[in-house]
Amino acid sequence: MAYIDFPIAALETEEFCLSPEAMWAWEEKCFQLAPETLAGSEDFLEIYARTLCANNADSERYPRPGFISPRIRDYKLKPDYLNYKAYLQGIKLEYERKTHVPLDESLEPIPKYNSKQLKFYDNAVMKVARGRRFFATKEGRIGFGPSDMQIGDQVCVFFYCPTLYLIRGDNIEKTFVGEAYVDGLMYGEALEMFERGDFKETSWVIC
């Protein structure tokens, strides 16, 4: 269906929890990849905002974390992401002040971590990103997958399964890599594309 083109290194749990600087550095890499991959998309920032938290902000509106989440496309996550981004930029500013490197004067002071929405979104991103890798596909999509994913792994839909998966291999025998999130393919859209003839049914042997 889609082949992995560029994966971003995963954040280990300890690094993610103990180093806020690692959070903004990692998110910057993800953010730089998004517009390059989603060129021409009507609203790449909304797609990126949903992908970063796997379309789940772990609140009353978005009750379940992880890749298997209710369809919440009616809710716009871009405002939550922009608030989160301002928080990360504030962390960057504080880090630059502490390390005496040249300041980026365009950054605003760090917002207080007291917004309910900010906490929900931040919590969702951490749950999704720990031990996983943000990636882009050759077909122009972005997503999350296992930390041991590789360039060339394939995103696929298994009939009757609740989420997307990654497999690896060049012949009929494939290695199962793990679950994946790709915005725009999670809630039946892939099956609709299959019915239109955009995808074809294929059989493999999972080793």
Per-residue pLDDT of 175-188, as tens digits, reads 999 999 998 888 77
The values of phi and psi at residue 125, to 5°, are: -60, -45
SS3 7: strand
- pTM score: 0.79
User: How does pLDDT run across 139-159, given as a tens digit for each residue?
Assistant: 888 999 998 998 899 888 888
Average pLDDT over residues 161-168: 87
3-state SS assignment for residue 178: strand
Rounded to whole angstroms, the Cα distance separating 144 from 67 reads 9
As to burial, measured by CB atoms within 10 angstroms (0-12 exposed, 13-18 middle, 19+ buried), residue 124 is buried
Q: Which two tokens stand for residue 135?
A: 């990636």
Rg, the chain, Cα only:
18
Residue 163: how many CB atoms within 10 A of its CB?
A: 17
Cα 176 to Cα 157: distance, rounded to the nearest angstrom = 12
Check whether 97 has a pLDDT greater than 90. no
How many residues comprise the chain?
207
**Which pLDDT belongs to residue 168?**
93
